[in-house]
Structure 1
Amino acid sequence: MKLHLSAPQSNLIESKIQITGSKSETNRLLLLQALFKNLKIENLSNSDDAQVMRNGLGISNGTVDVHHAGTAMRFLTSFFASQKGKEVVLTGSDRMKERPISVLVNALKDLGAEISYVENEGFPPIKISGKKLSKNKVSLPANISSQYISSLLLTAPSLENGLVLNLVGKITSVPYIKMTLGLLDEVGVKTKFEGNQIKVDAKKSAKEKILIVESDWSAASYFYSIAALSDLGSEIELSSYKKNSLQGDSVLTEIYRHYGVETTFGNNGITLKKVANPNLEILNLELSNAPDIAQTIAVTSFGLGLGCHLKGLHTLPIKETDRLAAMKTELEKVGASVTITNESLSLEPSVDILENKVIETYNDHRMAMAFAPLALKTGLYIKDAGVVSKSYPDFWKDMRLIGLKGKEA
């Protein structure tokens, strides 16, 4: 499906949006629920990734296809490896077969896991024969995707002797690690994060408990972008969000002040209000703790004619697509001047925005959603718009509630 997007009748936006649970929290809690049957979860994400995770956890033998879901691939690798009697081949899309898994596989093998590669060494698909893992000490590079680290931490309570995980080097994506540990703490698992070492105790059972998933801050980023690109006085209410969020992307509340957007926390939600014109200074950000919002920030800056320099993005080339290369290509289509390295993106201030260009999405949900707010400034096409279902199936419906016009082309 290709959508043509155009601006609402008025760029003075007033809207209320209900956003479902965080994909990141949902997939972590689904794995913990598989380990501790007494847990109940409310406000689950309705994303494709969450459904893939749920389906995968329900399989004991055979092939498990995670499609494009990187989180599910990594979390399920540790889960199946540590569950005695489970025999699976874990596979995914063509792009998934290009995304490295060897760091996690090697760590699990060090713990005694039985895993082999079906096609290419170091990449999915992988064959896993689940067994009881009694070793409890392992090391990982600290600057890798936090999903590898969280995968081990989430499975750790089911290991016979728990886990002592040593992280080598400078740790990135700390908020995602802390999210995982926070959720483990919520279900009664004892954890300790000190320096570069994380300890997780073994635990065989948990008390019955209801856990409520907070709404997704990554999803909120697109509404921050809309608020920034809208007229002064625009207000958007979003639910359900917490001031003391476990999600690293909650840093949006600070970042978008640069664009004149103020965040107010209220009754189980937030209100975004455009209260000032944006700061004209080039925005310099280190985003290693929140790389998923880099695309949104870059598009916001471009839409406002501002420059930005975003670094700490070394995990983006191994996402659903090479997000740095994709952003450079698509931003330049609409008139931007962009420079990238293997871990940064720099955008020059600009004036002209080219109209009605076709934005490729590269099987990447965040490409579609990051560019959508630009429709407040110019008409554009979003190719393969349905890709948003990976994390946010209601995205286009909610864009219509905002007033954005979308017509199938």
Structure 2
Amino acid sequence: MQASILQLKSVAKAEGTIVLPGSKSMTNRALLLSALSSGSVQLQRLLISEDTQHMLQALQALGVDIRLDPQTRNGVVTGGLSSNRKQLTSPLILDLGNAGTAMRPLTAVLATSPGYFELHGNARMHERPIADLVEPLRAMGAHIEYLGQVGYPPLRIQGQRLMGGHIKMAANLSSQYVSAMLMAAPLMDGETTIELTGKLVSAPYIQMTLTMMRRFGIHVQPTPRGYHIRQQTGYRAPQQYQIEGDASTASYFLAAAAVAGEVTVQGVGRDSLQGDLAFLGVLQQMGAGISIDTNQLTCRSQGGLQGIDVSATDFPDAAMTLAVLALFAQGSTTIRDIYNWRIKETDRLTAMATELAKVGATVKAGRDYITITPPRAMSPALIETYDDHRMAMAFSLLCLSPRGVRIANPQCVVKTCPDYFMMLRSITDQHG
């Protein structure tokens, strides 16, 4: 079957206002925390996308009552997952696609009380490591079996009540493992201490988890080397919880304005929980103008952009945007601390280096960094997306290059932003 190809014509600038869809990371956390809570909660501005549908459908299969209004993107979740699953006596197979924000937390949560589950995903998910979460759970007494390659999904879980205690886990590969353990810890009996080893990556995502847990009644105490969770009465749902607009999605529109134009994104602001807000500082370093308000962000071009050398440990997703934006800068750009790109939807380091070279960039990629030197003139190219939504969205910035861009398999954006290209057209005058 031949892949579809999207032609984005060359445009001079990006200009306008974008109302952001909800954050994927916050949506899937909010759905799970609501499901684990006593009572009902109204969730506002949920993201409806492939990844969030995987979480939503899994929770519904587990007996959670979720009523979603697709028009308003609001929903009501009635909790009780921890009690509902005690009634499950037959194996339940959950297909989580390539949604890491569903696979990782559900692995931890479902390991903590009675039930029999199998967690499956697509082919790429079965290549994404999960041992750094599974092995600490096993050390706590969890019964988890690898059904394929050791260290990777699919998984078979014989859930049971777990005793808390001291958990030691690596934090240098993905913050999702730490967030998953944090969300599961209050379901264990007794107090739990999580000790982290290695250099912590994507720390703002863990802070997002902690802040959201606090809104759902669970307080976690930081320690010098990790976190302590005391015995508490369980998750309690607030009456309502509003999801922020997705800051990762915002990065593409703001980057387009940094090249040429002015764009405002609404739905996320100065008090955001999302680490990708750090991308605004990167845009400023490169020479763009930034305005930050309570519920909106604005970026404007102020002439040429300059290449930079930056650690992306706190914003690995928006760093994809930076890699393509580097094509429009004077001088080289180096992005560091991005080893975890290799375990995302594709091996993003290899994929990014390959596609940047297609347009004429000089690229040097190492174990955990990439250096991009833009060409004097970009070559026309057909960009492969590797079924990775962020490859498609990042390379869409090339519509601001003299020759535009062709993108293969553009529908992969359904993972986090199904309306992405329609939104891009609204600020770049793409027609036809």
Common fold: TM-score over 0.5: yes
After superposing the two structures, state which structure 1 stretch, 195-204 or 387-396, moved more.
195-204
Q: Tell me if the contact between 1:111 and 1:138 (Cα under 8 Å) persists in the aligned partners.
A: yes
| Alignment match, 1:304 | 329
Structure 1 Cα separation of the partners of residues 180 and 187 of structure 2: 12
Q: Residue 89 of structure 1: CA displacement?
A: 0.9
Q: Tell me if the contact between 1:285 and 1:310 (Cα under 8 Å) persists in the aligned partners.
A: yes
Structure 2 Cα separation of the partners of residues 210 and 116 of structure 1: 37
Structure 1 Cα separation of the partners of residues 173 and 191 of structure 2: 22
| Alignment match, 1:217 | 247
Structure 1 Cα separation of the partners of residues 429 and 348 of structure 2: 25
Structure 2 Cα separation of the partners of residues 405 and 174 of structure 1: 37
Structure 2 Cα separation of the partners of residues 92 and 329 of structure 1: 26
Q: Per the alignment, do residues 277 and 366 of structure 1 end up closer, same or farther by CA in structure 2, a change over 3 Å counting?
A: same
2:275 alignment partner AA: G
1:384 pairs with 2:418:
no
1:345 pairs with 2:348:
no
Q: Residue 247 of structure 1: CA displacement?
A: 0.9
Structure 2 unaligned spans of 5+: 63-90
| Alignment match, 1:3 | 6
Q: Per the alignment, do residues 176 and 267 of structure 1 end up closer, same or farther by CA in structure 2, a change over 3 Å counting?
A: closer
3-state DSSP class of the match of 1:363?
coil
Q: Per the alignment, do residues 406 and 293 of structure 1 end up closer, same or farther by CA in structure 2, a change over 3 Å counting?
A: farther
Structure 2 Cα separation of the partners of residues 310 and 241 of structure 1: 25
Q: Residue 404 of structure 1: CA displacement?
A: 4.7
Equivalent positions of 1:198-217 (< 5 A) are: 198-201=227-230, 202-217=232-247
Q: Per the alignment, do residues 6 and 91 of structure 1 end up closer, same or farther by CA in structure 2, a change over 3 Å counting?
A: same
Which residue among 354, 361, 377 is the counterpart of 2:385?
A: 361
| Alignment match, 1:295 | 320
* TM-score (norm: length of structure 2): 0.88
2:43 alignment partner AA: I
Equivalent positions of 1:51-200 (< 5 A) are: 51-60=53-62, 61-84=91-114, 86-200=115-229
Structure 2 Cα separation of the partners of residues 259 and 344 of structure 1: 18
Q: Residue 116 of structure 1: CA displacement?
A: 0.6
| Alignment match, 2:290 | 263
3-state DSSP class of the match of 2:305?
coil
Relative contact order, higher structure (CA 8 A, sep 6+): 1
Structure 1 unaligned spans of 5+: none
Structure 2 Cα separation of the partners of residues 117 and 246 of structure 1: 34
1:253 pairs with 2:280:
yes
Which residue among 338, 344, 347 is the counterpart of 1:322?
A: 347
Q: Residue 135 of structure 1: CA displacement?
A: 2.8
Q: Tell me if the contact between 1:4 and 1:406 (Cα under 8 Å) persists in the aligned partners.
A: no
| Alignment match, 2:22 | 21
Q: Residue 305 of structure 1: CA displacement?
A: 4.8
Identity of aligned pairs, percent? 35
3-state DSSP class of the match of 2:94?
strand
Q: Tell me if the contact between 1:307 and 1:350 (Cα under 8 Å) persists in the aligned partners.
A: no
Structure 2 Cα separation of the partners of residues 270 and 206 of structure 1: 32
Structure 2 Cα separation of the partners of residues 4 and 291 of structure 1: 27
Q: Tell me if the contact between 2:270 and 2:294 (Cα under 8 Å) persists in the aligned partners.
A: no
* TM-score (norm: length of structure 1): 0.93
1:336 pairs with 2:361:
yes
3-state DSSP class of the match of 2:317?
helix
Equivalent positions of 1:39-50 (< 5 A) are: 39-50=41-52
Q: Residue 207 of structure 1: CA displacement?
A: 4.9
Aligned-CA RMSD value: 1.6
Q: Residue 267 of structure 1: CA displacement?
A: 5.2
Q: Per the alignment, do residues 69 and 136 of structure 1 end up closer, same or farther by CA in structure 2, a change over 3 Å counting?
A: same
| Alignment match, 2:67 | none
Q: Tell me if the contact between 1:26 and 1:44 (Cα under 8 Å) persists in the aligned partners.
A: yes
2:254 alignment partner AA: Y
Q: Tell me if the contact between 1:112 and 1:135 (Cα under 8 Å) persists in the aligned partners.
A: no
